[in-house]
Amino acid sequence: MKNPKKDLTQSFIPMRLVTVVATLLGCLLTAALCANAQAPAPASPEIEAKAHAMLAKLTLEQKIELIGGVDVMFTNAESVIGLPRFKMSDGPLGVRTWGPTTAYAGGAALAASWDPALAHKVGEGLGKDARARGVNFLLGPGVNIARSPLNGRNFEYFSEDPFLNASLVVPYIEGVQSQGVSATVKHYALNNLEYNRHNVSVDVDERTMREIYLPAFEAAVTKAHVDAVMNSYNLINGVHATQNDFLNLKVLKGDWGFQGVLMSDWDATYDGVAAANNGLDLEMPSPRFMNAKTLLPAVKDSRLKESTIDDKVLRILRTMLRYGFLDRPQLDTTASTYSVADRAVTLEGARESLTLLKNEGHVLPLDAARVRTVAVIGPDAYPAVTGGGGSSEAQAFEPVSIVTGIANLVGPHVRVLYTRGLPDTNEIFWGTHWEGGIKVCTYPSKDFIGTPEISTPPTIADWKPEMWGPEDKAPRSIRYTTGYKATKAGRYLILAAASGEDIFKVLVDGNTVLEQPHAEGQVPISTTIALTAGQTINLVAEYLPHSPGVRFGLGIANEADLITPEAKQFAAAADVAVVAVGFNPSTEGEGYDRTFALPWGQDALIEAVTAANPHSIVTLTAGGGVDTRRWLDKVPALLHTYYPGQEGGTAVAEVLFGKHNPEGKLPVSFDRSWDESPSAQFYYPVKGADTSLHVTENDHPPVDYAIPHVKYDDKLMVGYRYWTTTGKHPLFPFGFGLSYTTFSFSKLSAPTMSKSGAMVSVGFDVTNTGSVAGAEVAELYVSDPSSLAKRPERELKGFEKVRLAPGETKHITINLDARAFSYWDEPGHKWTIDPGKFVILVGDSSENTPLHADLSLN
DSSP code of residue 131: H
Query: In this complex, which beta carbon is closest to ligand BGC, that of residue 426 or of residue 547?
Result: 547
Q: Which of 161, 164, 166, 102 is nearest to 129 (CA)?
A: 102
Q: What's the CA gap between 596 and 214, in Å, rounded?
A: 26
Q: Which of 129, 171, 100 is nearest to 37 (CA)?
A: 129
850 three-state secondary structure: coil
Distance, C-alpha 515 to centroid of its chain = 25
Query: In this complex, which beta carbon is closest to ligand BGC, that of residue 247 or of residue 617?
Result: 247
- Min dist. Cβ of residue 198 to ligand BGC (A): 10
Q: What's the CA gap between 798 and 777, in Å, rounded?
A: 10
Q: What's the CA gap between 318 and 323, in Å, rounded?
A: 9
Point out which residues bind ligand BGC (CB under 6 A): 90, 139, 186, 265-266, 391, 590
Q: What's the CA gap between 331 and 47, in Å, rounded?
A: 23
- Min dist. Cβ of residue 266 to ligand BGC (A): 4
Q: Which of 176, 205, 213 is nearest to 93 (CA)?
A: 176
Query: In this complex, which beta carbon is closest to ligand BGC, that of residue 139 or of residue 221?
Result: 139
- Min dist. Cβ of residue 152 to ligand BGC (A): 11
Query: In this complex, which beta carbon is closest to ligand BGC, that of residue 125 or of residue 140?
Result: 140
Q: Which of 378, 381, 395 is nearest to 337 (CA)?
A: 395
Instruction: Tell me the β-bridge partners of 738.
Output: 356
Establish whether 817 is a catalytic residue: no
Q: Which of 277, 286, 366 is nearest to 71 (CA)?
A: 286
Query: In this complex, which beta carbon is closest to ligand BGC, that of residue 646 or of residue 696?
Result: 696
Query: In this complex, which beta carbon is closest to ligand BGC, that of residue 590 or of residue 607?
Result: 590
Q: SS3 sequence, 606-666?
A: HHHHHHHCCCEEEEEECCCCCCCCCCHHHCCEEEECCCCCCCHHHHHHHHHCCCCCCCCCC
Query: In this complex, which beta carbon is closest to ligand BGC, that of residue 69 or of residue 180?
Result: 69
- Min dist. Cβ of residue 231 to ligand BGC (A): 10
Residues in the chain: 858
- Min dist. Cβ of residue 393 to ligand BGC (A): 10
Q: Which of 126, 138, 184, 185 is nearest to 345 (CA)?
A: 126
243 three-state secondary structure: helix
Query: In this complex, which beta carbon is closest to ligand BGC, that of residue 367 or of residue 697?
Result: 697
- Min dist. Cβ of residue 662 to ligand BGC (A): 31
Q: Which member of 90, 265, 380, 627 is catalytic?
A: 265
- Please, what is the angle between helix 402-410 and helix 648-656, to 10°? 50
Sign of CA dihedral 645, 646, 650, 656: positive
Q: What's the CA gap between 537 and 482, in Å, rounded?
A: 9
- Min dist. Cβ of residue 387 to ligand BGC (A): 13
- Min dist. Cβ of residue 227 to ligand BGC (A): 16
The burial of 9, by beta-carbon neighbours within 10 Å (0-12 exposed, 13-18 middle, 19 or more buried), is given as middle
Which residues participate in catalysis according to the annotation? 265
